[in-house]
Structure 1
């Protein structure tokens, strides 16, 4: 079977980030239409159809709490302009200005560049909506002894594409699915294989229906976030002052001090922690939880063997303005390393030493903390966790 190369994995990550920008831009366009901010406007005896006033949209973003300051709102709109999602009506200005200037979404005036990336993405979105209304294709299935939710078998997907006249032959259908995987729309359940006409299982990687926050446009996902010993995506601050963060309670087995720079700043920080406040030009460092809180290593086989002393729980965690309030670590399986006692995760029942089974229905038992971190960080504000914890712990 063809496994994913490192180069392909990097290309998929880039396509995923670009795809998210497309979705955010489209969701914003529809919202502005609903709010009547996009409409025909006249200036110097000329009518400009389906456009908006730049300054009005900046006001709207701040009023809707999508941005905390005008500079951040302008940065968001500039990000969309940089990706050819919107432009000045006369293409006179390349930058987005907080002024009484007319701008328009390229999808509204038919100038959106339909390159291969966009065509595959738009087709993937159409197939996603079509499959969501089809019964029986997405099911709970098992591969290599692991149960996965809402997944499809490759050969059955090919059958469905031919039946729905989305492809004329099995070869054409397989090539379509390979392009969908290349553009981060679908993925192998364990993210190990390319798409082949086989019995392997795949899932949709992109949730087109999730409501994105515009702030996600400015969230950078540098690799060093995923290379730290602990995942910093969800630790939670109490204030800008130093805050004690106890990863183990009530003992002092592991203790650290953590301060988080706000993710709402123009620097685009996305959850770094350090022992003291950082400056915008200084690389942050994760200092908390230097060693695992597990009393002993636990293998995946030990966790899943019939009669094991572990029970499953389903927990729903809704993030606040600064995160979810817990940290994961380890791999196959990863575990909860730390929980902020006053954070959303603690309120939902997340505890240290719990093993993470699934995130929003996606089985993660074979993933390391880097992958689980990325899934939570780039997912919706509300996450559904399935965890396993030892009885009487």
Structure 2
């Protein structure tokens, strides 16, 4: 789709046609209709991810040329963002292209880890494939990826080393989709990795995927550990666009019989058995309804939602507007700007939120364990 194109005797390198991008999202990313796809691409343009080749047009579902700013050098990248992109490219080459020479099934102290690799193996591959010129450079890259938590030692006991120590990529890298580009963060400090994902209790059934990811109905980049998470379909300033990352899904674990819980105090929400929209229509004593007024800042509202109906709050930026208004992880969205949303998936809810990026009125269902804290 991205290629050099000629128009009126002029060549435009590395660009794509607006209508073809819409076609691709519908065909390959599960987007429901053309208007939704066009809206998504407009959001990417507002965040300076893409732009018209002459900067003359907003994104339109028509025969106009657009380009990713990363392809023409007009995207200001922080060091963290460059590393994040590089980490995803490495993962993509090793998995999605089906030619992995590094990721294998390994046994570590009686525990099987699928798609894992030894530090020395990754260093060898980086040098052999000319991605790094020296082993020392490759070791430095491995350390940077680990500090961003794009990779992690399987038992979380070692930094990255050029040794036979076992590592895995962050599991959510396999779930990168277009909508995740809209999870904007102030800084891409790290992916949200739950250390329990890499515990020695982890078995082959879920070595790199602690839970089945909650699949969005349309295209779906990480965390409360980073604490700068921003809402899906976030309207923010162009300066923030380089820090796009993947919000991690959470561990499938139930604590104290609760259906939802904050991971590590401010991480991604955990589920063991998510209630249905029908069950939440008439909540019992396990939930109470609360109305919140949230005023957006220059970045957005400061939270991320997930879910196929009901939608729930997955991550909240502790310093953002939503947290100040009282929004917490694990709360279910009941009404948004006066519209009943309990049965809507997170993409549909995001569209409603987008209608007024400055102010948001929400009725949420507060879990009992949260209500008792007030």
Shared fold (TM-score, shorter chain, > 0.5): no
Which category of TM-score, normalised to the shorter sequence, fits these structures?
Answer: 0.3 to 0.5
- TM-score, normalised by the number of residues in structure 1: 0.43
TM-score, structure 2 normalization: 0.44
